[in-house]
Structure 1
């Protein structure tokens, strides 16, 4: 019951419910779904920045916790197009943009795969060698854009890394 209530609160942005669970010592880092995604994952993937801030800064949950597939909340924010949450996770939560999940995908791979152009733009502007990182099967982000037929993402990636 607490598990479902906590995950639901993180997903819908019910900060009051999260605070209530915390006040009764029912909010713990051990709360996760069947895929190992914790509360920070759910808040990030649903665009609930206030809940994400609370969970990480006040409750001490790890901003870069890993689900069973090794994805972080930053992966989830990128895949669902939530750039504010992604920015906060990187700038305030200390998440590594080069972190790779079990398949080798980074936040950029996922943003491109799901056509989140604003996230792709921010990730490329954030710097690093993101566009050159390969998944376990050797795919770079441009491969995802080309396979999907996403010309806007592909052009953006190629402008950023013409090689």
Structure 2
């Protein structure tokens, strides 16, 4: 079973929908498949930017788009951290994830976009009007703190432009 689970996660990362269809038919692809950190095939597809695969996993295979890994991260958190805007957009608009969802450290998708210098995601999130640039993590970190620490001037400008006056 471990080998089949590993095959499922690999297929999700590679965007191999045909293999996932075969595994679904064999009843191997299900919500029990997770890696050692509790990340599902949906997480793996979101991280890898495999939108077609992501949609298959949620819409056809019936996996939860808003499932959580052991650290409380949703697939949207993973898409934001790895800079996969199309996957993030789909997860937030159709996959059941919400921009205000927090991982176990209190980080939102905006925190992660800033932490990993993905200013195009930061811009999209801010323009959506559904994120709070003043949201703090459990340790009090704001998205602007992550952008400043990274020296990400593009994200800093965006965040400061959306800060309350």
TM-score normalized by the length of structure 1:
0.97
CA distance in 1, matches of 2:95, 2:131: 20
Cα RMSD after superposing both structures: 0.9
Aligned to 2:71: 69
CA distance in 2, matches of 1:129, 1:106: 9
Aligned to 1:43: 45
Aligned to 1:17: 19
Q: Tell me which stretches of 4 or more aligned residues in structure 1 moved more than 3 Å.
A: none
Aligned to 1:115: 117
Structure 2 unaligned segments of length 5 or more: list them: none
Q: CA deviation at 1:2?
A: 0.5
Aligned to 1:102: 104
Aligned to 1:90: 92
Structure 1 unaligned segments of length 5 or more: list them: none
8 Å CA contact 2:99–2:131 kept in 1: the answer is no
8 Å CA contact 2:125–2:131 kept in 1: the answer is no
TM-score normalized by the length of structure 2:
0.96
Aligned to 1:134: 136
